Amino acid sequence: LVVEPRRLRSKLRKQGIDGPPPTFLLGNVMEIKNAWHGNITKDENDPNHPVLLPTDPNTHDCTTSLFRFLKKWSQLYGQVFVFSVGYKQIVHVHHPDFLRDLKTCTSLELRRPSYQQFKALLGQGIVTSNGTVWKHQRKIIAPEFSLEKVKGMMNIITESAVILLNAWKGRIEAEGGFATINIDHDVRSFTGNVMSRAYFGSNFSKGEAIFLKLRALQRSISKMTLTSAVPLMRYIPTTPNRETWALEKDLRTLILNVVEERKKLGTGDDKDLLQMLIEGAKSSELGIERFIVDNSKTLYLGGYETPAVSAEWCLMLLAANQKWQDRVRAEVLEVCGGRIPDYDMIRKMKQLTMVLNESLRLYPPVPTLSREALTDMKIGGIEVPKGAHLLSWIAALHTDPEFWGPDSHEFNPERFANGITGACKLPHLYMPFGVGPRVCPGQFLAMAEIKLLIALILSNFSFSLSPNYVHSPTFVMVTEPEYGVDLVVKNL
């Protein structure tokens, strides 16, 4: 708790890397807590004085409202600095060379950090494991989300999107021509539905109970993001800890019940994700139960949460920019010609891809990338000592004027007219799906479902931002609109 942090700090200081002085056990947790997020926040110098941050939906600088401690420390200590969360030493790096090295580094010695709150949520599934255990899981899981597999999922994506369309049509009719809708619940139900159908095949209704428990577990864990870094805190039976333990136990029972039922009844013709996990578990070092339970939670959560918030941000931007909404709608109507879009059609929607790329640039759902060095290594020109954590802030790299130009904080999908290479001086800095060996395996599925949903919404409705909408990007494991997105929706 004392010697090791000092050793790491001293090695970093010798390279000119410094940062805010940590306190014993807590590190810089209190400063982080005071500047965590939200549009109304405390002034760090005067905790009794609330400061109102910009809430204009045309101000797209997440770095002013999220992780403001990183911004403050970059200004004080430069682009590379070190801070502490508990006894962990975290090196913040805002440098293209570092991302380039991260992209090509295949060493199992550079692992994803074992942050305890993610462990409670995801156990030792693909996201939270490392080394050979991770490698085995990646080999089994990633091929299930290949382009070919995603093409085969288009029918379940369409069925799930039609439920949302019908619900909105019903509300518009009931409310007399237009409806004000907070889209958060409906969009999450859409992505949850896609995951349930992909995961449980024809038994998808079983997914509902698991989905609700996971969401409750996620909320409970996100309350403990910072305290979990304090040594031994996770073993103390505090109310949030007990709530988390109980939810974890319930989830495990629910998942194992479905697996038992599947074993008794067989799959029929279904070759769903659950079946793939049951088969993959046989060769896993983790043990059969753990492999299935932990990856069920991981895929379910990873599969519904991030595409849902990405679709919400994209719809918010289209609602606030009517010109782009009209432009993308014209393209969708032309490509589809009155038919339900299939995979080839959504692939042809270039304007929609540009808008979605821009939306993921400004509001990357996963705002940071973290790694931990298991051995001394050189990466991005830094001699990283064993045990140090590395952190890159995707949201800040995505909006740095040096790489994106002076309009980097503006919504301008045109920048993607010639793809990512045309949009950024250093294209590897565009990384909404991460980089390197641990890049998101679900990116084809995510892009397909968001594009299909938005194409169907655009071809049925026109929409604008409701005056109820409060622009407040917040972080609850992913970057999400704190109060959802309120749209005024009309039939076309």
Nearest residue (CB) to ligand HEM, 9 versus 398: 398
| Shortest CB 137 distance to ligand HEM, Å | 8
Q: Which is nearer to ligand HEM, 293 or 440 (CB)?
A: 440
Nearest residue (CB) to ligand HEM, 225 versus 310:
310
Q: State the minimum distance, in angstroms, from the CB of residue 129 to ligand HEM.
A: 8
* Burial label, 307 (beta-carbon count in 10 A; 0-12, 13-18, 19+): buried
CB of residue 314 to ligand HEM, shortest distance in Å: 10
We find the least distance from the C-beta atom of residue 162 to ligand HEM, in angstroms, to be 19
**Cα diameter, the chain:** 69
**Looking at beta carbons, which residue is closest to ligand HEM?**
442
Nearer to ligand HEM, 65 or 296 (CB): 296
User: What are the helix (H) ranges across 207-287?
Assistant: 207-222, 239-265, 273-281
Closer to ligand HEM by CB, 35 or 435: give it.
435
Neighbouring CB atoms inside 10 A of 280's CB total: 19
Which residue, 387 or 441, has its beta carbon nearer to ligand HEM? 441
**Closest to 220 measured CA to CA, from 234, 241, 189, 250:** 241
3-state secondary structure of 27: strand
Q: Which is nearer to ligand HEM, 306 or 459 (CB)?
A: 306
Q: Which CB atom, from 365 or from 387, has the smaller least distance to ligand HEM?
A: 365
C-alpha 7/C-alpha 28 separation (Å) is 17
Q: How far is the CB of 112 from ligand HEM (least distance, A)?
A: 5
- Contact (Cβ atoms closer than 8 angstroms) between residue 66 and residue 395: yes
Q: How far is the CB of 197 from ligand HEM (least distance, A)?
A: 13
Task: Quote the least distance from Cβ 44 to ligand HEM, whole Å.
Answer: 28
Q: How far is the CB of 256 from ligand HEM (least distance, A)?
A: 20
Asked if residues 81 and 406 have their Cβ atoms less than 8 Å apart, the reply is no
Shortest Å, Cβ 253 to ligand HEM: 22
Between 172 and 349, CB nearer to ligand HEM: 349
Q: Which of 110, 453, 488, 186 is nearest to 314 (CA)?
A: 453
Helices 273-281 and 184-200, interaxial angle, to 10°?
50
Distance of closest approach, residue 243 Cβ to ligand HEM, in angstroms: 26
Phi, psi of 390 (to 5 degrees): -120, 140
**Minimum gap (Å) between residue 60 Cβ and ligand HEM:** 17
CA distances from 447 to 222, 355, 360 (A): 26, 12, 11
Smallest separation (angstroms) from ligand HEM to the CB of 441? 5
Give the residue with the Cβ less far from ligand HEM, 207 or 442. Answer: 442
Q: Which residues bind ligand HEM (CB under 6 A)?
A: 112, 126-127, 138, 145, 298-299, 302-303, 306-307, 310, 365-366, 369, 432-434, 438, 440-442, 445-446
Q: What is the DSSP string of 89-101?
A: EEEEE--HHHHHH
Q: Which of 64, 468, 121, 478 is nearest to 295 (CA)?
A: 121
Nearer to ligand HEM among residue 153 and residue 172 (C-beta)? 153
41 DSSP β-pair partners: 51
Helix, coil or strand: residue 19: coil
Q: In DSSP terms, which residues pair with 489 in a beta bridge? A: 179, 463
d(CA 172, CA 166): 10
3-class SS of residue 165: helix
User: Which is nearer to ligand HEM, 413 or 441 (by Cβ)?
Assistant: 441
Distance CA 290, CA 285 (A): 10
Quick check: 51 and 45 in contact, CB under 8 A? no
**Are the C-beta atoms of residues 270 and 202 closer than 8 Å to each other?**
yes
Backbone angles phi, psi at 85, to 5 degrees: -115, 110
